């Protein structure tokens, strides 16, 4: 079995990040930004792609930004939104899977990851 070093994150940090992702609309926004890559999207285009617009999009971007998952940067007259926490998202998923099936007789059997 391949063993990877998985960083430990505090339970409070994991809970806080999961809370920020606890909205279907925020997940759609983050997923869209992850798909867009590091260059991100203009906020108007993000709204068009997700169907989340106006103050609702602003609210969700604020929560995702406070969680350190996205950034918003003013470029001229545009606001560019981008996902920035690729490593944190990977670590968060590994946090969930790190001890997959550890309390069974056959840990990781049929559940290989990484």
Structural domain total, the chain: 1
- Give the domain range for residue 71: 11-97
Please give the Cα distance from 101 to 86 (Å, whole number).
25
pLDDT tens for 83-108 read: 988 888 888 888 878 777 778 776 55
Residue 111 covered by a domain:
no
Tell me the residue length of the chain. 114
Find the CATH number of the domain harbouring 71.
1.10.10.10
pTM: 0.77
Residue 113 covered by a domain:
no
Please give the Cα distance from 45 to 52 (Å, whole number).
10
Residue 26 covered by a domain:
yes
Residue 40 covered by a domain:
yes
Comparing 72 with 18, which gets the higher pLDDT? Answer: 72
Residue 102 covered by a domain:
no
Tokens 């999009």 sit at which residue? 57
Comparing 5 with 62, which gets the higher pLDDT? Answer: 62
Residue 109 covered by a domain:
no
pLDDT tens for 33-81 read: 999 999 999 999 999 999 999 999 999 999 999 998 999 999 999 999 9
Decide if pLDDT at 109 tops 70: no
Residue 44 covered by a domain:
yes
């Amino acid at each position: 079995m391949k063993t990877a070093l998985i960083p430990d994150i505090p339970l409070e940090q994991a809970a806080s990040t999961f809370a920020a992702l606890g909205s279907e609309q925020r997940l759609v926004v983050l997923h869209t930004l992850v798909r867009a890559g590091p260059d991100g999207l203009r906020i108007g285009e993000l709204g068009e792609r997700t169907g989340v617009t106006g103050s609702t999009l602003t609210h969700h971007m604020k929560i995702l930004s406070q969680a350190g998952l996205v950034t918003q940067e003013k470029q001229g007259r545009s606001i560019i939104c981008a996902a920035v926490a690729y490593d944190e998202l990977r670590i968060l998923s590994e946090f969930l899977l790190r001890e997959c099936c550890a309390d069974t007789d056959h840990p990781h059997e049929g559940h290989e990851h990484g």
